[in-house]
Amino acid sequence: MIARVRTEHLRSLAAPAALLLSVLIIVLISFANSPGRHNKAGGSPAAAAPPAKAGTTPAPPAKPVYLTFDDGPEPKYTPQILAILRTFEAKATFFEVGRNVEKHPDLTKRIHADGHSVQNHTWTHADLRLLSWPKFEEQVSDTDRAIQAQTAVTPRCVRPPYGAVNKLVQTRATGLGKKLTLWDVDSRDWTRPGAAAITKRVLAGVKPGTVILFHDGGGDRTQTIAALPTILKTLRARGYSFVAVC
Helix, coil or strand: residue 40? helix
Helix, coil or strand: residue 217? coil
Using left for φ > 0, alpha for ψ between -120 and 50, and beta otherwise, residue 137 falls in alpha
Question: 38 catalytic, yes or no?
Answer: no
Catalytic residue among 70, 71, 189, 216: 70
Question: 189 catalytic, yes or no?
Answer: no
Task: Give whole-number Cα distances, 175 to 4, 95, 135, 145, 207, in Å.
Answer: 102, 20, 14, 17, 32
Helix, coil or strand: residue 12? helix
Catalytic residue among 116, 125, 215, 216: 215
Helix residue ranges, H only, the chain: 2-32, 35-40, 78-87, 98-103, 105-113, 133-151, 167-175, 195-205, 222-237
The span from the CA of 50 to the CA of 30, in Å, is 26
Taking CA 109 as the corner, what is the angle to CA 107 and CA 114, rounded to the nearest 5 degrees?
Answer: 95
The set of catalytic residues is 70, 215
